[in-house]
Amino acid sequence: MNILGKRKIWYTISLVILIIGLLFISFKGMNFGLDFRGGTLLEFKFDQEVSNEEVRTLLADTGLIEGAKVQQTAEEGINGVLIRTKELSPEQITEIQDILSQAYPSTEVLRTDMVGPLIGQELRVKALLALLFASIAIIIYISIRFEFRFAVVAILTLLHDVFITLGVFAVIGREINTAFVAALLTIIGYSINDTIVIFDRIRENMKYYQRKMSFVELANKAVIDTLPRSINTSITTLITILAVYFFGGASIKTFMLALFVGMFAGTYSSIFIASPLLVTWQDKISVK
C-alpha cells in the first residue's frame, strides 16, 4: 500500500475542506455563545409546543429581546425555548417570565445564565492563551525528543485538525462556548498522541533501514505498520463519543460533537497528512 505516494491527493482533500471551512468562517462568521459575547441566556419549558415567533411577538413590546436569538431547546422531548439576549437585570428577567407565564401558565424557568462582556472577553483571551501555550509546549517537547522538523509538522497537523473543527462548526452554525475550547484542547492531546506513534516508528525505521530504503519508503512503512493500531483506536473512541452524544444529554452535545469532528480529522491527519508533510520537507532538503 503506497499511502505516501498519493500524498498530493490527501493534500487536495484537506485543502478543499479547509478552504470551504475558512470561507464559511470569513463570510458567515462563528456563532459565539454567551461565554464569549456576554449577555443573558434564558431557557423556558412549556407543556405545549411554543414557536420562536410566538415568543418574539409576546416580548416584542418590552424591547428586551431586540436583536436577541430565540431558538428551540436542543434537548429532545422538551417543549423549550432558548433566548440569548443582551445583559438583563433581575427585574427585566422577571418581566419576561411574567409575560410568558400569563400567556402560558405552564411556563417553567429551566435556567438563567448571565455573563458580563468583560468576562466574555477575558474567556476568549484565556482560551487563545491555552491553545498557544499547548502549541509551544508541544514544539519544545517534540524538538527535544525528535527533531525540529517533526515539531513543525506536528503543529501544522494540529492546526489542520483545529481549523477543520472550526470550519464544520461555522458551516452548521453550532455555538462556540467554553466546552468547545475544552474539546479543542482534548483534540490537540489526542491527535498529537496518534502522530507521535507514527513519528516514533519513522525514527526507528531511520535507524534500521536508512541505508536500504529512501525516506519516503521508510516513512510509508511506518504508516502501514501503525495503521491497524490507529484505525482500531479511533473507531472504538469515536463509537464511545457517538454514544455519549446521543444519550448524554443536551449540555454536553457541543463538547462531544467537537470531539467527534476533531478526532476524526486527527486520525485522518495522523495517517494522511503528518508523514506526507515530513516526506515533502525531506524532498525539499534533498533538492538543495
Query: Mean pLDDT in each 10-residue stretch from start to end of the chain (288 residues)?
Result: 86 94 89 75 85 84 76 74 81 86 86 69 75 82 83 89 92 83 83 85 84 85 88 89 83 86 90 89 75
- The pLDDT, as a whole number, for residue 118 is 57
Q: Enter the C-alpha cell of residue 107.
A: 411556563
Which pTM was predicted? Answer: 0.76
In angstroms, what CA-CA distances link 117 with 46, 113, 121, 254? 30, 13, 6, 22
The CATH-assigned architecture of domain 39-115 is: 2-Layer Sandwich (3.30)
- The pLDDT, as a whole number, for residue 55 is 85
- The pLDDT, as a whole number, for residue 116 is 66
Which helix (H) or strand (E) element contains residue 9? helix 7-27
- The pLDDT, as a whole number, for residue 76 is 66
Torsions phi, psi for 69 (to 5 deg): -105, 120
- The pLDDT, as a whole number, for residue 121 is 67
- The pLDDT, as a whole number, for residue 122 is 72
Annotated domain spans of the chain: 4-33+119-287, 39-115
- The pLDDT, as a whole number, for residue 173 is 84
- The pLDDT, as a whole number, for residue 14 is 93
CATH of domain 4-33+119-287: 1.20.1640.10
Q: Enter the C-alpha cell of residue 213.
A: 530504503
